[in-house]
Structures are given as structure tokens and as C-alpha cells.
Structure 1
Amino acid sequence: MAGRPQQRTLETRRRILEATQALLAEQGFEATSVETIAMRAGVAKATVFAHFDDKTSLLIALRLNQLEELSVGLRQMVDALAADPLRKDALGEVQALLAPWLALYREDPDFARLFLIQSTLKDGLHTRQFIEACSGMEAEVSRALSILAARGALRPETEVALLTQGVMAFYYHVIVGFNLCHIPDEAQQTALMQGLLARLL
């Protein structure tokens, strides 16, 4: 059982995250300041920084549980692919792997922007966890492509490492398009991703 100091720490962290989530929903990431978050949570600004490196870390922390669930689900999907030698539909398999991740970035444009600029983010615990989740996702896509290549489900001349980079480039492209409103809805994003992958796979 957690002691009282630890319980207070967890309670403070919960209040900060709840305040952040509410404010982001009300006014967006750019308009939300750490001062406003602290006031809404009923804590000092220094307390917010004691728990989180910066505002970006707060946004990432709100999504870490979801990222972990997506990462676990992705590993399970690739494990299931590996276990069934009859599965050879490369286009369908890759689309299915990417769909939950695209949905995450569709529902939260601010979080999508963090994904797109991840190489420039300030180092910190939450940032490292976020980047590890993104890297893990790419590694699982590569593993799936390796499995499909071994089954002859890809073009004979395919280099898996290069193909993985192509898939990820298309993945970035449709996230950017949706984020900038060039791709207006989920159906068009899905159709574009399918069309791009069909040419690649």
C-alpha cells in the first residue's frame, strides 16, 4: 500500500493531468499555459514543473497509457501474423497495423504535431517514453514486413529496411495531410493510405 506522501504525490499528479486535459479541450495546446494549469489544479507552478519537465511533457503524459496499449496491441498483432503462415495479404496486414495509430493522431491534432516534430523535443522522461513508443511502432512494422517477405508476400526484390522507410514516409504523409486539413476526413485518409501502400507493396 502506498504511504501518505506517495499518495499525495499521485493525487497531485492526477489533479495536474486532469486540469491539463480539461484546459486543452477548452482552449487548445498553444493557448494553455503552465500557469493556467497550475491554477486549475490548485497547485503552485513549481509543483507542475516538479512532476513534468514542460507543457509538452504534460501532453505526452496524457497519452502515454494509450500509447502503451497501442504498442502492446501492435506486438500482439504481429505475433498473430507470425503464428499463421497462411496470412499473406501484405496490404491488408500493414493497413491493419497502422490504423489504430492513425486514429490516435486524427483525434488529437496537438499530439500529432508532437509526433511530427519529435526529433526536436526537449529531452526528458516523458519525451523518451514517447520516442521509444514511436520507434517501437516502426520496429514492429519492420518485423511484420520481414515475416511477409519470408512468405513471398512481397515483391522478390524487396529490401525490408528500405520498404519500412517507405511505409513510414507514407504514414507521416497522411498524418501531415490530415493535420493541415488537406485530407478532410478519416475515409479519405484511409483511402489515400491504401492507395499509397498498394503502389509500394
Structure 2
Amino acid sequence: MTMIALALSPDFCIVAADKAVGRRTSNGKVVTQEKAVKINYSTNSPMPYVATAAGYSLAVDLVPEFASAHSIKTPADIVQLGIYLAKTMKQTIAHSEWVNEHTSTYMIAITEQNELFVRGFYLNDETVLLNGCNPTLSQVAAGFEEPQKSYWEHRLTTAMNPLYEVRTPLQRLNDALSVMREAFAVCASTDEYVSPEFDYCVITAADRRIAFNSTPFGSIFG
């Protein structure tokens, strides 16, 4: 299990994933003492991107392999990346281990037009979850069921896109991270396969930056 939160807005986005590691054994799935980074990112032009995965978090480790052999220049290339991850998973893992589970990947990229392109994809049945530019509604992509899922998505959306006040991007970033810290702690308190600790990437459209576990430097955060 991996908890993933996507705080989305047209000018910057946050991709967050918890650090817990579960292993499948002959007695079923067990949680380990390991901690893992489940986020992969590239700052290469013309299309910097961030990728994460849930259910089969090792999928994120396959992203650089794809990128080394295929140029990622357009949203269509991100679509092909998702298909590659799905096919690789199906060839690598026993059918019985993924056929009844929702294993997924989420990718956010900056297009050459400085738009944020979001792609969400179920690996096991290759269903598209999110697809498009300039996102506005944040997502708790894995970790909570309804009604908690909608509750945390609403709080993240409000933090990223205030309705009645003007806040700087840095203030919105800090507000969203505060909501995430609370959400991950709540999820971890009821699910042993989720850790309260998480990694995150911030990806900005205007100055095309990606920052890992830190605030990006740039004019919009000045």
C-alpha cells in the first residue's frame, strides 16, 4: 500500500508519497522496517516530469529505464511511459498478485508551453484516471476511501486554490504541505502499510523547476 497525494493547480503542483514498504510472502503481505523513496523525477528539458506509483511502487524505478531509451518531449510520450510501466508489471509479477488490485502510476510534466500535464493510470487494467493540462482539483490518489478521500481532496484543493483570498504561491505551498502532514498521519494511524513520513516534489510551470523535499527557488516564490 502506498498513500499518494496530488496537490494540483495550474501554476504549481505537489506530488507526495509515503515511505512505507510492504512485502508479499507465502503468508500474505507484511510491512517491513524499510523506508523507500517512491518518487522519480527528471529536470531535463523540454519536458521535466515527476512520477510516482501505488500498489506496485517498484514501477517508479522503471521510469529512468524508459527515459533512457525514449525521449520524453510531449504528453504523448508520458502516455507511452504509462503503457510501458503497465506492460512491464504484467510481465514481471505473477498474474494472481495484480489482477484484483488497483496498481497505479501518476505523472506530472511541464509541457513546452509551460502547462502542467497530469496523467494517472491504473497499471493492472490500463484505465486512465487523470489526463489533461492545467489541473485545478487536488487528488488523494491512494490511501483513503470515501468519505475521507473527498474530505482531504477538498482541503488540498482549497489550500492550493483559495476561493476568497489572495495568497502567494509560497503560502499556498506551505498550506498544502500542512494539510498533507495531517492527512498522512491520519492515514498511517489506521493503516500499517502507510507511514506518516512522506517524500514530495514541487513542480512549477512558470520557471520550469522541480524541487525534491524542498521549496523551489524562482520568481513565483520570491
TM-score (norm 1): 0.28
> Which has more helix, going by share of residues?
1
Query: Looking at both structures, which has the greater relative contact order when contacts are Cα pairs under 8 Å and sequence separation is at least 6?
Result: 2
Which one has the largest radius of gyration?
A: 1
More strand by share: 2
Q: Normalization by structure 2: what TM-score?
A: 0.27
